């Protein structure tokens, strides 16, 4: 039995536009300089309070970052409705999940910096909740690259990290996977560049979701 853990933002769904617009409004509400799209993309995958702190050059989340996180969360659904932002699947993801989802020899899960509510919305919107049997979010664990999201999923499913694949688009995903003792697979259709994924410890790099099939086995 293998456990296959997917990151969400930048791996399963393209949520950068929605995240950036919500972040932009949050920074303006706190009289902060408006972040660039590239600055926003660079922190996708981190837990929100840490992401906001990093965007301001802080290593750790302080009270202001926590307050900004709360404001961001209050805006997220508003921005989604205002501008009809979607979180579309990347090309090939639906076909991949529909192929591996029904298999009896695989367990599928998600490890994400999203909130539990945000992950559940993505799963239900795209009909993946019937396939994903475990997940850890920013509400459950320390931020990536801490290995807890992976190790807790392994513990719940009774699968060793050595039999676990972590698939993601960010350096934090690769670092988290390696810290947990799992196989790290980087994808190049997300928000990071391949050399950074390799430097962060990626065991494999794929350029299309179908390339994951032989790696999953």
CA 162 to chain centre: 21
| 85 has pLDDT over 90 | no
pLDDT digits (tens, 9 = 90+) for 93-110: 999 999 999 999 999 999
**Structure token digits, residue 139:** 């509400």
Using an 8 Å Cβ cutoff, are 191 and 183 in contact? Answer: no
pTM of the model: 0.93
pLDDT at 80: 84
To the nearest whole number, what is the mean pLDDT of the chain? 96
Nearest by Cα to 11 from 136, 120, 151, 122: 122
**Architecture of the domain delimited by 2-14+88-216:** 3-Layer(aba) Sandwich (3.40)
Cis geometry, peptide bond prior to residue 207 (ω within 30 degrees of 0): no
For the domain made up of 16-83, the CATH class stated in words is mainly alpha
pLDDT at 81: 84
- What mean pLDDT comes out for the span 87-91? 95
pLDDT at 77: 87
For helices 16-29 and 48-55, the axis angle rounded to 10 degrees is 60
pLDDT digits (tens, 9 = 90+) for 151-204: 999 999 999 999 999 999 999 999 999 999 999 999 999 999 999 999 999 999
Ordered by start, the domain boundaries in the chain are 2-14+88-216, 16-83
């Amino acid at each position: 039995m293998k456990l296959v853990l997917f990151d969400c933002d930048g791996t399963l769904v393209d949520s950068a536009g929605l995240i950036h617009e919500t972040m932009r409004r949050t920074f303006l509400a706190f009289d902060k300089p408006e972040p660039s799209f590239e600055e926003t993309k660079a922190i996708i995958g981190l837990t929100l309070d840490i992401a906001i702190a990093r965007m301001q050059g802080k290593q750790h989340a302080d009270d202001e970052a926590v307050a900004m996180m709360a404001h961001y969360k209050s805006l997220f659904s508003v921005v989604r409705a205002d501008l009809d932002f979607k979180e579309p699947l990347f090309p090939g993801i639906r076909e991949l999940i529909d192929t591996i989802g029904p298999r009896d020899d695989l367990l599928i899960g998600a490890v994400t910096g999203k909130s539990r509510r945000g992950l559940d919305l993505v799963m239900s919107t795209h009909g993946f909740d019937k396939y994903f049997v475990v997940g850890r979010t920013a509400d459950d664990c320390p931020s990536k690259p801490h290995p807890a999201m992976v190790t807790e999923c392994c513990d719940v499913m009774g699968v060793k990290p050595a039999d676990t694949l972590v698939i993601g688009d960010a350096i934090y995903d690769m670092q988290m996977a390696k810290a947990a003792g799992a196989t790290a697979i980087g994808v190049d259709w997300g928000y990071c560049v391949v050399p950074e994924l390799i430097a962060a410890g990626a065991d494999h790099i794929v350029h299309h979701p179908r390339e994951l099939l032989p790696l999953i086995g």
